[in-house]
Structure formats: structure tokens, C-alpha cells
Amino acid sequence: MDEPKINSISTLLELISKTKKDGHSLYFRGQKKKYETIKPSIDRNGFLESEDKLFKEFIIRNPDEFKGQKSTFEILTKMQHYGLPTRLLDITTNPLVALFFAVEPDKDTDSEAGDFIIYAIPDKFIKYYDSDTVSVVSNVVKRPYNKLDISKISRKISEDEDKSKWIKRFNSQSHIQYLLHEIKDEKPYFSHVIEKDHLQSIWCVKPLLNNRRIIKQDGAFLLFGIDGTKKKLANYKKEEFEPLRFKVENKSVLRDQLELLGFSKDKIYPEMDTTADYLKQKYEKA
């Protein structure tokens, strides 16, 4: 079956109205072309192996940027903003922002169809930036590559035993104790309980609206847990949520339509150097 196509804003709005579900919220992502997987940048080029080093080295080299900042998730959002590979994936609540990214000019991809992604996320998988679940999954970043393997822990513990005993034993394992130590450094009041399923899921996180780009892009993030071991990111699961993908055609026409609606590069990227580039392109004479 052919992948559904988006070639006008009205087509996009029709698709969105068909995707709405009770108890779910819609989030969107746009990409200049279709990639095989929709995963965060930490999963590319072997970066995952050095995730803890990337995190610590970035802070060491930019101490003033992170002075007094305890929240690991907020630190990750700042790192993501500056282009460091993280386990966060940018999404938005605004479909037109996602469409802008799918049709953004690029000489290498302009001849290819863009990729528009809809996530219908169950409300129970949507968390605020300061939730305990977000702290648990975010702090995975600080653990070394080979020092968090809950698949081994799970094999040691019988799934048949009483759930409260199982949770207690799961949380007494050394890999989990080290993770608890990282979380308590951020949240001293955190209970001594980590749920295994929380570590192995993908969470939609509503961030603090504390920088202009997140505000302008109506930004949010998918925060990826682990798949049994830190060596693999959590996968999309049918029982949780999966991406719905649509091919984007007529890129130049859609760009013009978006600009008429106020979605131009200088609005999406509000930094002054981007505004300067946008104005140069707009008024430059051939």
C-alpha cells in the first residue's frame, strides 16, 4: 500500500483530523527526507558508547552554562539546543512547524520527498519536565555504556514472585543502586523505587519554555529509555505508541504557503544570525 502523501496544507489538516483519538495527544515531527529509523542523534555514529563522556565533557567545558542546574533533563535540553548528540528527539505540538522542517530548503534533499510524522501519544506517556519518571530515564545518560543491564537483572529475578518483593529485589541490584544515587543527587526526596517498565519506554516530555527556540517551535521532546541494556535505545511499541509517516511532496509550493502563514526561517529559528541570513536571501538581487 502506498504511503499517504501530503501536497497541500488542506491535505495535512485532513490527515490530522483522521488521526485524533480520545485519551491521546498529537505531536508532530518533520524531516527533509525519510530515514530508515526515527531515533535520537545519540544512536548514530557510535555516540551511544560514549554518552556519559559526552555529557560530562560538555559540562566541564561550559561550566557557567550549567551553574546551579540540577535537573538532568533540563541539562539535556540545553545540550540538544547546541547540537550535542542526546537521547532526546525534537517534536512539536504544531503541525505547521513540523511541515516547515519537512520542506526546509536543502540542495541535497530538495528533490526527495519530505517525511512528516504524527505521534498519537496516550496521555499516560506524557510527562512534565520535573516528573520522577523523567528524572529516572534522563539520569541513564550518566551511567557508563556497560554498567546498566536490566535484562540480566530480570533473569536473576523470577517474574512469578510477589510484585512488591520483585520490585524490592530489582531495586537492590547494584546497577539500579548506582542509578538511584544519580537521581538522588538531583532529587534528594526521591523514593528508593525505580519501575523497570519506566526505564524501557519512550516518554513525551513537556519542557520548560525557557528559550526562544522552544517557544517559537512549540517544542517538546521524546525521551528514549533503554532496551534491556544501555547499549540499545528503547523501541517504539505498538501497545504504547508508534510513528505514523507521510510523504511530503510539492516542497516549494508548501514553503510559499507556510511563509504566507508566518512560518519563515527567522520565526522558527529566532536567533539574530538566522534573521540576518533570512533577510539577505529575501532582499538579495540576482
DSSP 38-71: ---GGGSTTGGGGHHHHHHHHHHH-GGGGTT---
Helix axes of 9-19 and 251-260: crossing angle, nearest 10 degrees: 90
Q: What pLDDT score does 158 carry?
A: 62
Q: Which residues contact 153 (CB under 8 A, 6 or more apart)?
A: 170, 173, 175, 176
User: What average pLDDT does the segment 111-130 reach?
Assistant: 96
| 59-70 average pLDDT score | 92
| Cβ-Cβ contacts under 8 Å for 78 (sequence gap 6 or more) | 65, 66, 69
Q: Is the per-residue pLDDT at 153 higher than 60?
A: yes
Select the more confidently predicted residue: 280 or 245: 245
Average pLDDT over the chain, rounded to whole? 91
Give me the pLDDT at residue 169, please: 84
* Per-residue pLDDT, 76: 98
Residue type, 172: S
Report the amino acid identity of residue 208.
Answer: L
pLDDT computed for residue 156 by the predictor: 63
Q: State yes or no: pLDDT of 163 exceeds 90.
A: no
Mean pLDDT is highest, among 62-71, 95-104, 143-152, 191-200, for 95-104
Determine the 3-state secondary structure of 271 from DSSP.
coil
**How far apart are the C-alpha atoms of 16 and 216, rounded to whole Å?**
21
Residue 159 has pLDDT above 70, yes or no: no
Give the total residue count for the chain.
286
C-alpha angle 80/263/28, rounded to 5°? 50
**Residue 229 has what pLDDT?**
93
